[in-house]
Amino acid sequence: MILSPKIEARHQQLQAVVYIRQSTPKQVQSNQESTRRQYQLAERAQVMGWPPSQIRVIDEDLGLSGASSRQRTGFQKLVAAIGLGEVGIILVTEVSRLSRRNSDWHRVIELCGVFRTLIADEDGVYDARDPNDLLLLGVKGTLFAAELHILRGRMRGVRRHPNLVLPRFRYRWRIPYAAFGIMRAENDDRRVWARGSPTSQAWTRARSMAAAMRRC
């Protein structure tokens, strides 16, 4: 995220809102680097010209999916603040943090255009009144929504076909088994596979994708 000529004095007289979200509680615990980077956007807002008193951090949506805004009180507060004309710029690490639902995403873009609110991510600063920026924001929102749809489709496929057996594969290269404490077996990669990771052991016992996922 770099300084942009799109930032005007009128924007800096309003709030710079840092919106922070992680999709699941597990991501909050295991992916703390992403959370840390999101909180650092408050420092970036100062570099961009906003005084600390005008920087607002909204982090109520940590651990909540962006697929819907119904349970995301932080997102609702952000939309309300934009509608009241209180926000000069929204800062996110990537725009998918705001929403992965097309209707919610386009509502934010429309409000930002009406109230001249900028959106900034790590790629740049966007003005929803600019036709090129509006097109780019629309494409990004569509891609994020499509990505979520594809992931859901894959999960439904696993549930519908729990006994799906993946084709076996064989190692085509020599592995220094001794380096991993595994006794070398000539012409027998099953021994290496069976004594490998917990995931491979689960697959060997379960023989299906869904069952292996439950065992891991």
Q: Is residue 148 domain-shared with residue 74, that is, in the same domain?
A: yes
pLDDT of residue 94: 87
CB neighbours of 16 closer than 8 A, spacing ≥ 6? 45, 48, 50, 54, 55, 56, 87, 88, 89, 91
pLDDT of residue 193: 43
Number of domains in the chain: 2
Q: For 157-166, how does the pLDDT look when each residue is reduced to its tens digit (9 = 90+)?
A: 666 666 655 5
- Label each residue of the chain as H, E or C: CCCCCCCCHHHHCCEEEEEEEECCHHHHHHCHHHHHHHHCHHHHHHHCCCCHHHEEEEEEEECCCCCCCCCCHHHHHHHHHHHCCCEEEEECCCHHHCCCCHHHHHHHHHHHHHCCCEEEECCEEEECCCHHHHHHHHHHHHHHHHHHHHHHHHHHHHHHCCCCCCCCCCCCCCCCHHHHCCCCCCCCHHHHHHCCCHHHHHHHHHCCHHHHHHHC
Owning domain of residue 33: 9-156
Extract the residue ranges of the chain whose pLDDT is less than 50. Answer: 169-189, 192-197, 199-200, 202-203, 206-207, 209, 212-213, 215-216
Residue 15, domain member (yes or no): yes
> Nearest-CA neighbor of 92 among 47, 168, 34?
34
Residue 58, domain member (yes or no): yes
pLDDT of residue 60: 92
Q: Is residue 100 domain-shared with residue 19, that is, in the same domain?
A: yes
Q: Map tokens 């929102």 to a residue.
A: 141
Q: Is residue 203 domain-shared with residue 103, that is, in the same domain?
A: no
pLDDT of residue 19: 95
Q: Is residue 181 domain-shared with residue 149, that is, in the same domain?
A: no
Q: Is residue 112 domain-shared with residue 17, that is, in the same domain?
A: yes
- Say what the pTM is: 0.65
Active site residue 23: yes
Residue 171, domain member (yes or no): no
pLDDT of residue 148: 54
Catalytic residue among 4, 23, 65, 200: 23
pLDDT of residue 8: 95
